[in-house]
Structures are given as C-alpha cells and as structure tokens.
Structure 1
Amino acid sequence: MTLEMTAASPIADPAGGFARHADGTFRKTMPLERVHRELEGWRSIRGHLPVATLLGQHAAPGGQHTLIYEDVFAAGRCTRLLADLIADADRDPAQAPAAAALVDAVCDSWAQAAARTGRTAPIGQCQPGLYAARLAPGGRLDSWYGRMPPVVVDTGAAVTPVDMPALLAQLRIELAPGRRCPTAVTQGDPTEPNIAAPMRWLDYEHAGRNALAGEVATLLWYLLAMGGWLVPLYKPLTYARTVHAPGLPLPPAVTYLHLQDGRVDIAAQIRADAGRRAVITALLRRLHGDIGELICGPHRDPLAAMRPWLATRILGVIPIIHMTRADAAVCLLKLVQVLDPGTRLDDFAATAESSRQEQR
C-alpha cells in the first residue's frame, strides 16, 4: 500500500442541491431515482419517528427533481443540529450536557423504533445504500481498495497485516444478505447534520428497515472521527450547507509515524474537545446498557456486534487513498483495532483531550 499524499484535499460533494430558502423551506434537488428513495424512506418512518414535514415536490432543470420540506429551524420546531450543539459545547463546555442529552434522545428513538418495528431479519431486507451497495463486488469499496497491495500496521501493541481484498471478501461474508441480525425501521444515516434538537430526524434517503448495529456504528464513527476531523477536512460542503457554525477540524495526535515498504508504524490517538467527549461518553453509556442489548443481547460485546459495520464504515465514506499519509495511517490504526477481537469498546472509542480550550 502506498500513502502518497501530504496535504488534505477536499473530496467532491455530489449533494450540491441542498439549501435553505428564505420562504422557510429546505429544498433538496437530486436525480429522480434518489428522490424516489427518499420519498419511500420518509413515508416509512413518518408515523413513528419525528421528521420534517414534506411540503411538495417538482421537476427541476437537467432531469433533476426537487423535494420541498419545511425548514424545521425557520418553523421554530428545532433550534440546532447535533453538529452545532457539539461545536457550541466545544467552545463553551457548560453546554456539553445539552449535546449529550440529544445523543440520549437518539438512543431513545432507536429504542422506540425497536419496540414498534424491531425484529430479527436477514441483512438483505435492510436498506443497502450505506453498507451492502458499497461492499458489493464492483462497488465503491472494490474500486477504492480492490487492488491495493497488503500493508502491515504496527501499533506498538500489535503487528497486524491488512490485505484489503481479503478483508472485503470477509466483510461480504459477515454482512451477507442471508445473515440475520436485530433490525428496526429507522432513519438509516444517523450523523451529526441529520439530527436536530429537540429530537427530529432529517434526511430520509436511507430510511426504512436497517440493522441496528449498523445504525449505532454509523453514529459512533461519526462522533469519534468523521464529525470533528474527517468531514471538515475532506467534505467541507457537507457542513457548509447545513451547520450554522462548524468548529475547526481537530486532527488526531500522532506521536509517532513511520512509513516504509508497505509497513505503517504508528502511535496516535483521536482528540476531542469537551462537547465531542460528552457525546461519545453518552453513546458509550447507552452501548453498555439498553442499546448494547438491542444490537447483541445481554452479556455480549457491543463492539463485536458492530465490528463488520464499523470496518465498512471506516473504509466506505472517505477513501483512505485520498487522505494525507498521517490521516490514512490513523484510519488504518482504527481499522486494525476494530478488527482485533481483543479490543474493548471503551479502548476503541478513547480520545485524547485537546489543548485548544487552553488556547482560547
């Protein structure tokens, strides 16, 4: 594996047609196929989860189609996104409880969805967009990693060979369509720009029946790495079109990094300010309690239940090959951690304190 880049490069953002309008609406302009998926998802959850009101739709130039929702912020139904709450609490730690409370509300929403619609079902009955489609032969992950040469990752605690094509094959087995797991009808893409306070789900393209372990893995990786680090660096438009006052990117603390001849020697830890640490702690507390039981039952390891979902998520959003060498190495570090059966959930999700608060 080669890690050639030395500077962060933003990744193209295909969702350029999302915007708030002065008339109090939020409009999403997309190809008709995506519009159909979003409408189906919105209809599947509107009866049992809090969503934005759909006001209408119309054709747009270039074969596109526009969905028109109420702007929940202009309507006064909501005040801030989860991303805003975290950024505000990072600046002012006194606001951290509000951010943590919203993550608790997300977990309550999952528990409610499981109570109303939960059942053990084949993965093939779940929404495919974030996992199955990306993992499928010839899909996104194949195009990014299918010909990547092996790499050895030395974390100081373990030396782990990573054969990406073999790993993709193993993940396809673990997330095969016939494998059964706890599922419920949920929003499907629980990320910081898609969750508003008071609790309301936004963005419904992946809504429908979803694996609960995949839902929790998506949020955990977003809180841990995507929201405060990778998205601001590589997909800044994601926050530019939604978040009111995004915080500054906070890359991990890399204390040692050496790359040579397909070997990555690294010592690093993801960093977080007060708000982000509070929401990670809130999610971990629920994973050690009722949410952990939802995804794997009592007396079992939530990280083990999330392992293939987390690995697919780490690889499947921003290509490691497009990251800086340091960022790519940290993602490989987290990948080998999550694949190691000996890794504890709290160790995987541990963060280092940031010094930025002292600098303010």
Structure 2
Amino acid sequence: MPRISHHRRYTRNHTWHLDVAGWPLFVKANPDRAEARQELTGHAAIEAYYPIPALRWVGAAGPWAVHVFDRSLYRDEGGSLLVDEISRAETTSDCARLDLFLDDVLAYYRDTLLSTARHIPAGRVVGKLYGDRLSEGGRVDQYYGQGSPWPLLPGGVAPADLRVEVNGRPSVVDLPSIVERLRADFATDRRVWAAISQGDPTDFNIGWSPRSGPVWFDYDTGGLNAVAGELACFLMYQVLHGPWLTPRYNRDAYMDHPEALHRSVFRRPRIYAEQTDTGLAITYAFEPGPVRAHVVGRYLTEVVRPVATALGVRDLWAWLRPYLIARVLGVYDITRLDGPDVALSLALLAQLADDDVSPTVPFPCFAITSTGANR
C-alpha cells in the first residue's frame, strides 16, 4: 500500500515523501509550469556531473507539474543537509562531523567547477539568479522600479544620491547607477567564466551522508552557471542569508531544521542607524558565528582561491563584487524588510559599490586563509 507523508510547502511548491513497496520517493508539485520545465532541464544538465537523485516520473495534476525523484538522503543512515551540520556544530562547538561533510563536498565541488570551466558569452549561462533579475522588467525593476521609499526613517528614504556614513566612512548610494552598472556587468555579450553547477548553493541544497557522500538538490538553476555567481551565492548565504535573513523572513523553511533557529545559529547583525545633518550614519557588524566563519574560511581556501587562480582571475574581489551586490538587491525586496535590515542592506550596498573598499571591510571573515577546526 503506498504511503504518503511529510508534506511541506516551500514558497509556492509542495513536497511529500512517498513510499511504494519499500521504495522511498520524493514528490514535488509546482504550479509554475515554466519553472518546472526548467527544473527538468537543470536536472538533465548536471546529472552526469554531480551526485543527484534519479528522476523517476514526470506528470501533471490539474494545473500542477509533478516530479517524482528518488529520496536519497536518509537521516537514519546519518544523512543531513549543510543547514543541519552547521547548526549541530554551532550548538555543540564541535566541527568534526561538519569537516567530514566539507571534505567531501568542497573537493567534489572544486574539481567539477574546474573540469567543466569554459569562457563563454554571458548569454549562454543560466540567468535566473543574476542576468534575468537585472534585465529590464526583471525582479530588480519589480522591487525598486517604482522608486518606492525604503522604510528606514519617518517618510522613508529614496536611495538615489543618498549620502551615508558607514562605520565612519562617507559614501554615496545611487541605486539607479548601481543597477545600470550591474546591467553592464551582466550583458549577454560579455564573456564570463562558466561551469556546470547546481547554481543555487544554499544550506538547503547541499547534502551528505557518511555512506554515500555528497548530494545536490533543487535543479531549476542547474547547468552552465557563471563561476563568480556560484561562488558569490555561497559566500553571501553564509554571511547574510543563512544566519539572518532567511530564518528571519522565511521561518517556515525551518520546520524540519529547528536547531537552525537556536540563538547561537540565528544571529542578527549588529546595526544602528541615525539621521545626521548630511544624511545617514550607519554602524553595523556581521556576527555570523565561529562555525560559519569556519565554513567561509574553508570555502575560500579550498574552492574560491584555487578556482580563481586556475582560471587566471587577477582581481578576485572585482570578479565577485557585481554578483555580491546582485545578491543584496535581488533576493529579498529591501523595501519590505524591517528598519534595521533596510539599514544593513543600504550599508552593504554603499560598501560593495565603493571601489576603494576591500572585502574584509564588509565581510571580515573573507580574510580567513586557513582554519584550525576540531578535526
């Protein structure tokens, strides 16, 4: 008798566990047919390169596209997602198991990026997280194109020619100019380093088990992705989205991962903003926790720097920066965040858009070159 259990909802998608004659399956229903088709395309594009669950059936139920995959990560066999391993390490102060996870995942990740890297026009890469969002009428226009004030001070703040002082450094935030610059960076005829990847390397999309090793999930961004975008996505998730914005604004995603909401893991950055005679003064500091700093350190040392060196990238910060800015603007609508998070986003934009600011200013943990974890 088939058994259906473990219903979950992620944004508009619904998922279930399905067991048929002892065969564990994972069912995903998506109301967006175009997005569902892209997931099939992405799955096919990376299945020869990454360990991913087999796709067993594709169909429809009314307006819903339905995909059925093998269920390949078993908690009773020690399987876990990166979100679970980071949470476990933060709450126990023990990185031993996390390091086993990272040993397998980062080596596989680096080697696959390098073995599939090619220099191609940006128009050939998967555009969902970057080029599509910055295109005319894309998500960034939808978020900010009407010029809505950002809810930071009474009456709001329009981020155009806005003078700010961030941690004591004067800056000017001109959002239209920042967007125009990003559109030039992501122009379809500009050549970029691309490689085969899952494309959205968040804590929920990378798994591991002691028996089977790494596994990747969620495929609508799978295929040829800009390497700098892949790296920036992972780094920004570890510093900003994973420890703060995602659990703050998408708490339902953590139904199966309650440890991630523990105060040692779920950390609001320190942030203070006040109006001055010349604009705004913002003071902030990221405090992602020692375990996330450790993850960032290993990722920089074992993936980012070796990949950049192999590809001949001379200025790593300039290479990553447009993609980091796009992650600030294009994931959450800043105009819908609460006041401190608006100030944090504004401070990040000011520093990331400043050519004279080094990566260790907004992200001190980017200075890590080696780690001394409990191994």
Note whether the superposition's TM-score is higher than 0.5: yes
Larger Rg: 2
Give matches, 1:199-238, under 5 Å.
199-238=214-253
**Aligned length, in residue pairs:** 335
* 2:364 aligned counterpart, secondary structure: coil
Closer, same or farther: CA 58–260 of 1 in aligned 2, 3 Å: farther
Contact 1:100 1:278 in 2 (8 A): no
Deviations 1:191-250 (A, max 9, x none): 11000013111111100110000000000000001011000011123333x646423331
Contact 2:167 2:284 in 1 (8 A): no
Closer, same or farther: CA 265–75 of 1 in aligned 2, 3 Å: closer
Determine if the alignment matches structure 1 residue 47 to structure 2 residue 62. no
Deviation at 1:25, TM superposition (A): 2.1
Which letter maps to 2:15?
F
Query: For residues 263 and 22 of structure 1, what CA distance do their matches in structure 2 show?
Result: 59
Contact 1:60 1:66 in 2 (8 A): yes
Closer, same or farther: CA 74–106 of 1 in aligned 2, 3 Å: closer
Q: Could you tell me the percent identity over the aligned residues?
A: 27
Contact 1:120 1:183 in 2 (8 A): yes
Give matches, 1:180-329, under 5 Å.
180-197=191-208, 198-240=213-255, 243=257, 245-248=259-262, 249-254=266-271, 256-259=272-275, 263-286=279-302, 289-294=305-310, 297=312, 300-329=314-343
Query: For residues 92 and 54 of structure 2, what CA distance do their matches in structure 1 show?
Result: 32
Closer, same or farther: CA 306–28 of 1 in aligned 2, 3 Å: same
Contact 1:85 1:275 in 2 (8 A): no
* 2:141 aligned counterpart, secondary structure: helix
Question: 2:57 aligns to what?
Answer: 56
Deviations 1:327-357 (A, max 9, x none): 1111222222222223333443226xxxxxx
Question: 2:12 aligns to what?
Answer: 15
Closer, same or farther: CA 245–58 of 1 in aligned 2, 3 Å: farther
Determine if the alignment matches structure 1 residue 349 to structure 2 residue 363. yes
Deviations 1:168-209 (A, max 9, x none): 111000111111111111111111100001311111110011
Question: 2:173 aligns to what?
Answer: 162
Deviation at 1:22, TM superposition (A): 5.4
Contact 2:171 2:354 in 1 (8 A): no
Query: For residues 21 and 245 of structure 1, what CA distance do their matches in structure 2 show?
Result: 26
Query: For residues 350 and 122 of structure 2, what CA distance do their matches in structure 1 show?
Result: 24
Q: Judging by fraction of residues, say which structure has more helix.
A: 1
* 2:320 aligned counterpart, secondary structure: helix
Deviation at 1:155, TM superposition (A): 0.9
Identify unmatched segments of 5+ residues in structure 1. Answer: 1-11, 352-360
Determine if the alignment matches structure 1 residue 339 to structure 2 residue 336. no
Question: 1:32 aligns to what?
Answer: 33
Closer, same or farther: CA 258–297 of 1 in aligned 2, 3 Å: same
Closer, same or farther: CA 287–109 of 1 in aligned 2, 3 Å: closer
Query: For residues 75 and 88 of structure 1, what CA distance do their matches in structure 2 show?
Result: 14
Deviation at 1:103, TM superposition (A): 4.2
Closer, same or farther: CA 288–33 of 1 in aligned 2, 3 Å: closer
Query: For residues 184 and 276 of structure 1, what CA distance do their matches in structure 2 show?
Result: 25
Question: 1:109 aligns to what?
Answer: 108
Contact 2:36 2:65 in 1 (8 A): yes
Contact 2:125 2:226 in 1 (8 A): yes
Query: For residues 352 and 99 of structure 2, what CA distance do their matches in structure 1 show?
Result: 24
Query: For residues 57 and 345 of structure 2, what CA distance do their matches in structure 1 show?
Result: 41
Closer, same or farther: CA 78–244 of 1 in aligned 2, 3 Å: farther
- Alignment TM-score, normalising by the size of structure 2: 0.82
Contact 1:99 1:275 in 2 (8 A): no
Closer, same or farther: CA 177–78 of 1 in aligned 2, 3 Å: farther
Deviations 1:112-154 (A, max 9, x none): 2234321101111000111111111111101212243323221
Closer, same or farther: CA 236–259 of 1 in aligned 2, 3 Å: farther
Identify unmatched segments of 5+ residues in structure 2. Answer: 1-8, 148-157, 366-375
- Alignment TM-score, normalising by the size of structure 1: 0.85
Higher relative contact order (CA 8 A, sep 6+): 1
Determine if the alignment matches structure 1 residue 179 to structure 2 residue 176. no
* 1:128 aligned counterpart, secondary structure: coil
